[in-house]
Amino acid sequence: MPLTHFDDQGRARMVDVGHKADTPREAVAKGRVRLKPETLTLIRDGGIKKGDVLAVAQVAGIMAAKRTHELVPMCHPLMLTHVSLQFETQPADDPNGLATIEISATVRTTGKTGVEMEALTAVSVAGLTIYDMCKAVDRAMQIDAIRLVKKSGGKSGDIVLE
């Protein structure tokens, strides 16, 4: 099965989706930021009295979803009808004693192709934003497990990966 993003001469192209039906589509992606437990404590306190890292990350993720086709070369432009992000924090659940912020993004459209990349981009940029805002106190943070967890709509129907 060949990679569909290439033409007969092996050059990249934006795959033709013109013949596909406009159907409601949804994708859910997840990823996690691993960080020191003290950093997570700072973020949580910040939510109350110092500022809200996750509020900024959420706005960044939503805005990035809308610009996915500008970043990922072969992505089609799509009129997103919904984007939301959730964060779940877990103190020190990691074998290395690290805390976790699990980021989850849900994106919907009515269109000719799926919104997996938009959901994955939202998660990635939200993770980068958390990194940026905390890097002065925790340089060893890591963004992990960026993955698609659910997809519905289109010819392939519903897929649950997790």
Residues with catalytic roles: 132
Q: Which of 40, 103, 116, 154 binds a copy of itself (CB under 8 A)?
A: 116
Question: 99-111 and 80-90: which strand pairing?
Answer: antiparallel
Which H or E element spans position 8? none
Q: Does 81 bind a copy of itself (CB under 8 A)?
A: yes
Q: Does 44 bind a copy of itself (CB under 8 A)?
A: no
Q: Which of 79, 95, 96, 155 binds a copy of itself (CB under 8 A)?
A: 79
Q: Of 110, 130, 156, which Cα lies nearest the Cα of 54? A: 130
The rounded distance, in Å, linking the Cα atoms of 99 and 117 is 27
Q: Does 80 bind a copy of itself (CB under 8 A)?
A: yes
Are 125 and 64 contacting, i.e. CB atoms less than 8 angstroms apart? Answer: yes
Are 29 and 116 contacting, i.e. CB atoms less than 8 angstroms apart? Answer: yes
The footprint of a copy of itself on this chain (CB under 8 A) covers a number of residues equal to 91
Task: For residue 10, give the DSSP letter.
Answer: S
Are 109 and 52 contacting, i.e. CB atoms less than 8 angstroms apart? Answer: no
Q: Which of 35, 40, 115, 141 binds a copy of itself (CB under 8 A)?
A: 141
* Site for a copy of itself, residues 59 to 78, rule: CB under 8 A: 59-60, 62-64, 66-67, 69-78
Kindly write out the interface string for residues 2-31 of this chain, putting x where it contacts a copy of itself by CB under 8 A and - elsewhere: xxxxxx-xxxxxxxxxx-----x------x
Q: How far is the CB of 50 from a copy of itself (least distance, A)?
A: 5
Q: Does 92 bind a copy of itself (CB under 8 A)?
A: no
For a copy of itself, give the closer residue by CB, 22 or 91. 22
For a copy of itself, give the closer residue by CB, 52 or 102. 52
Q: To 5 degrees, how large is the angle CA 107–CA 113–CA 59?
A: 25
Token readout for 148 is 């698609």
